[in-house]
Structures are given as structure tokens and as C-alpha cells.
Structure 1
Amino acid sequence: MQPRIPRLTAHEPDSRSRAHPDDDVRLSAELAAVVSGARRRAVRCGDRQIDTAHLLHSLLESDPEVRSVFDGEPRLARLMGYLVQRSIGYGLRWQGSVEDSGAVPVVTRADGYSPLAGRAMEYACALAGRRGGPALGVDLLAAILVDPQARAVEVLNRAGIDPYGVFLRVDSRLRRTL
């Protein structure tokens, strides 16, 4: 079975200039594993691209530092329930649509991210660049929460979790590391 999210191979033209999402050298090993998990989840869901909800789900499952941002959050179980339901087929209203905030023209990305998720990955790498290291899960979480149109933000809202409050917690952690 062919993966639904495009993978680049050595036989494709210009494959040296483009990398697979989880092969990005700007990502920590942990974040690269998160991206791999999000890609697998997108494929299982039948989605053409990795979106911010896939990334959030994978971050919560795989990254202890991201999970610690949600420590004491009484609605975390509800959030995980929404994300799991989506991964087993209850998020079908999103299937086949492209996640984008409308801020720039929609372009299908060859690297497998939705436009909004791709911008979040770039923003996470820029945050990490200021720190002088690879992008971490908390960088990506902060980047995802910046756009109120992100599917991850919609899921947080539906679970009754204030995305802005989560962003403030993440931002305060990131400021301590700069």
C-alpha cells in the first residue's frame, strides 16, 4: 500500500534539496519521532497531510515536556478522547480538506504538512534557532497555538481547554531557556 502522504525518494528529481518531514536536521530526535508519529496517524486517518491536530496528538503521546505543560489540567482526558476519536474516524468532516488559516494562498506542500502545520514547523525551528539548538516539542506546541484557525486549537477549545492559557504556560517555559 502506498502512503498517502508523499515521501521523497532518491529517484525523484531534486530530492537532495527537499527532505522528509522527520529527516529535518533542525529538529531534535524527539521532535523527529513526534513528526513520524503524526505522519503515521495522518495515513491511518486517511488524511493527505499532517495537520496541527495530528502534531498535537503525537506531542501529547510522545513528549513528556509537552505533557507537563498540561499537568493539573482537569480536561486533559477529554482532550485525549477527542484526539483519539479523530484518529479512529470521527474527524471525518476534516478529511479531504486542507488546513489553512487563509493568511496566505493555499499551496499543497510536497513535504506532507498542511500549509498551517508547515508554517508551525518553520516557526518552531525559528524559535529554536534563537536558542541555538534543535526544535523541541514545546517549540512546536507554541507554534501550533499561535494561529487560532489551527485544528489543534479547535480541538483544545472543544475540550474546554483555553489555548491562550496553554500558550502562556509554554511561552513562560521558552523564555526561561532563552
Structure 2
Amino acid sequence: MNITYRKLTGPEEAQKYREIRLECLKHYPQSFASSYEDQSALSQLVFEKHILENNQNQFVVGAFDQDQLIGISAFAREPKAKRAHEGSIIQVYIKPAYQGKQIGKHLLSQVIKAAFAITEIEQLIISAGNENKGALRLYEHLGFEQYGVHKHYMKIADGQYHDITFMYLNKSTFLKNESDG
């Protein structure tokens, strides 16, 4: 298996993004704040626009098995001037057949490097549902530290509440970990 990673660009990749994004929302509603019903009704998803515009402050990195998009992770820089030193990693998803193969780790590493390549970015935020132990372990392995739990963050269609853990990674910590090997 030869998996490649790159920022998504152009109309064809924007369409592939839309398909995989709607797939993850449909099959894993407890993992994402957006709903399949709301997003599928839109003519264009927010990140489809960013992909088409090749936006450097809002982008999606994809994991590809040949030409098939098998994983995504998005970066969104804070738009307000006082918060422009920070960005969020969101929409992390790997197709089930590819999970457990280190693809998520490599995909997130690419997003982190691309985000920190933006000179002004000093800190990244990421989150996961408390029940998603695998994601939380991966984020810790990549250097993220927990800073809070939001109780009852989401209430999905089945009436169940889901708590979410928020984590951060400072650029200085990331660079130190990179140099330590």
C-alpha cells in the first residue's frame, strides 16, 4: 500500500472531499458537530470553497490510495486578529478499511507541519469525543495536551449527549519534539 498525502486542490478533489465528508457525517454522527442532514442540503460545503480557492489559511489535507481519497483532515486559522496566532485541526477522518494502519498519524503530521509553516501560527487546537480513545491517544502521541472537557457538547438524534476533550499543541513544543527525533 502506497499512501500519499497532499493538500486538496481543484474541482475534482473538492468533489472527492464532499463525498468523504458526507460519508463520515452519515456514519459517525457522534464524532462531528455538523450533521449529515444539514451539510448534504448545502450546494457547497465550506471547505469545498476553500479547496477551490486554494486558501492557505483554511485547507484540507487528504490521504490517497492511488487516486482514491481515503482520509481527510482540515485546518482552519482563527479569522480575528487577536486570535490569528491559533488554528484548529478539524474534520479528521480515515475510511474504516484503512484505520489502524498509521495513516491518521501521517495525515495529522502533514496537517500540523503545513499549519506551523504559516509563520504567525503559534498554537493548534484539536478535539475528540471522550469515547474516541484511539483519537485521543493519537493526539497525545503527536504532542497535544489536554486542556479541558466540555460536558454535553453534542446531543445527537438518538438523544444521547457526548462530551468532548479539547487539546492544544504549541509550535515550540512541536519543533522541540521534531528536533529530538
The answer to whether the superposition gives a TM-score over 0.5 is no
Q: What's the TM-score bracket when you normalise by the shorter of the two chains?
A: under 0.3
More strand by share: 2
Q: Could you state the TM-score of these two structures normalised by the residue count of structure 1?
A: 0.27
Structure number with higher helix proportion: 1
Bigger relative contact order (CA 8 A; separation at least 6): 1
